[in-house]
């Protein structure tokens, strides 16, 4: 038996890191939206156990993606087996399109895709709350991928609720042009830079006021864009702010970095012709970059 699960990327439209916690993680208030662009995870039961005697194995079409126990797909599978006692031989095949070190949540999304695939193969052993508990244990960004819609994230990212309907309406049908330079940014590095700089945090009450103003108003998606992880990343990777500023000036687009980077995006207006925008980004960053237009879920 096999199932194939779509594993979407996400972007953060609003990301306010509010402070460092005693456990080393950071508290944040964020609005994130899954995209119609992502990876695909196939899970197939049967076949032999791996040489090491394990029941879960992973193949990936991209050589640079680690397919060993460090991959969140296999960590998620172990967590699922431990929680449910369901432990059949499963081969995962991951078709990877989301770049790594991108701030697009690829690894977290793959982990949730694995949980969903195993839940289906096992006859829905876990209900929504059980899946959510496992997802939260796998990574701060995982729970958002259980909602298939724009969400507000709090805590270290694992406390997730759907956006109010009126706010979701203002995001509906919008798309973004994603562009990532040839380098990635490691999430722990980016948070480490915020700690070292110490000046970028937005206190939680201010973050909540800022978000509430957008949620309670009628401003378009453009006015939601905010990311206070940008200064730490931009200090080292100057190409990012230079490009964003040019795109804002030359095309009038709203643009930001997603998560801890290095992917940035421009929000597109309905029916906006993007060929000139794409050509300009290629002109400035070269052809060896990742670029993709995607719609918000």
Three-state DSSP state, 35: strand
Q: Which of 10, 12, 26, 185 binds ligand C5P (CB under 6 A)?
A: 26
Q: Annotated binding residue at 104?
A: yes
Which of 96, 141, 200, 210 is labelled catalytic? Answer: 141
> Is 139 near ligand C5P (CB under 6 A)?
yes
CB contact set of 192 (below 8 Å; sequence gap of 6+): none
Q: Which of 5, 28, 90, 232 binds ligand C5P (CB under 6 A)?
A: 28
Angle between helices 128-138 and 72-84 (to 10 degrees): 140
Q: Which of 18, 119, 187, 258 binds ligand C5P (CB under 6 A)?
A: 187
As a whole number of angstroms, the distance between CA 79 and CA 233 comes to 33
Site string for ligand C5P, 229-268 (x = CB under 6 A): ----------------------------------------
- Which span (46-54, 59-67, 135-143, 240-248) binds ligand C5P, by CB under 6 A? 135-143
The answer to whether 198 and 26 are in contact (CB under 8 A) is no
As a whole number of angstroms, the distance between CA 151 and CA 162 comes to 4
Strands 226-227 and 2-20: parallel
246 part of the active site: no
> Is 7 near ligand C5P (CB under 6 A)?
no
210 part of the active site: no
| Cis, bond preceding 185 (omega within 30 deg of 0) | no
Helices (H) and strands (E) counted in the chain, each on its own, are 9, 11
Binding residues: 99-109
Q: Which residues are catalytic?
A: 10, 141
Residues interacting with ligand C5P, by CB under 6 A? 25-26, 28, 139-141, 156-157, 187-188, 191
Binding residues for ATP: 99-109
């Amino acid at each position: 038996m096999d199932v194939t699960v779509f594993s979407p990327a996400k972007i953060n439209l609003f990301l306010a890191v509010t402070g460092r916690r005693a456990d080393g993680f950071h508290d944040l208030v964020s609005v994130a939206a899954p995209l119609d662009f992502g990876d695909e995870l196939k899970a197939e039961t049967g076949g032999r156990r791996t040489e090491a005697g394990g029941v879960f194995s992973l193949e990936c079409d991209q050589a640079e993606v680690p397919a060993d126990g460090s991959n969140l797909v296999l960590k998620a599978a172990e967590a699922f087996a431990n929680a449910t006692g369901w432990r059949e031989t499963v081969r995962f095949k991951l078709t990877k399109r989301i770049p790594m070190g991108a701030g697009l949540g690829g690894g977290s999304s793959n982990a949730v895709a694995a949980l969903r695939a195993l839940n289906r193969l096992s006859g829905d052993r876990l209900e929504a709350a059980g899946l959510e508990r496992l997802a939260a244990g796998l990574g701060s960004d995982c729970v958002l991928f259980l909602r298939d819609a724009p969400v507000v994230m709090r805590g270290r990212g694992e406390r997730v609720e759907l956006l109010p309907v009126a706010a979701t309406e203002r995001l509906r049908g919008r798309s973004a042009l994603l562009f990532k330079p040839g380098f990635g940014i490691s999430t722990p590095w980016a948070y480490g830079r915020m700690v070292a700089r110490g000046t970028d945090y937005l206190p939680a009450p201010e973050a909540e006021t800022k978000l509430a103003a957008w949620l309670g108003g009628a401003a378009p998606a453009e006015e939601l864009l905010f990311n206070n992880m940008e200064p730490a990343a931009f200090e080292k990777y100057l190409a990012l702010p230079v490009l964003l500023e040019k795109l804002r000036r030359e095309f009038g687009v709203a643009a930001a970095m997603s998560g801890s980077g290095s992917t940035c995006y421009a929000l597109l207006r309905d029916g906006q012709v993007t060929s000139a925008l794409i050509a300009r980004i290629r002109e400035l960053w070269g052809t060896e970059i990742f670029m993709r237009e995607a719609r918000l879920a």
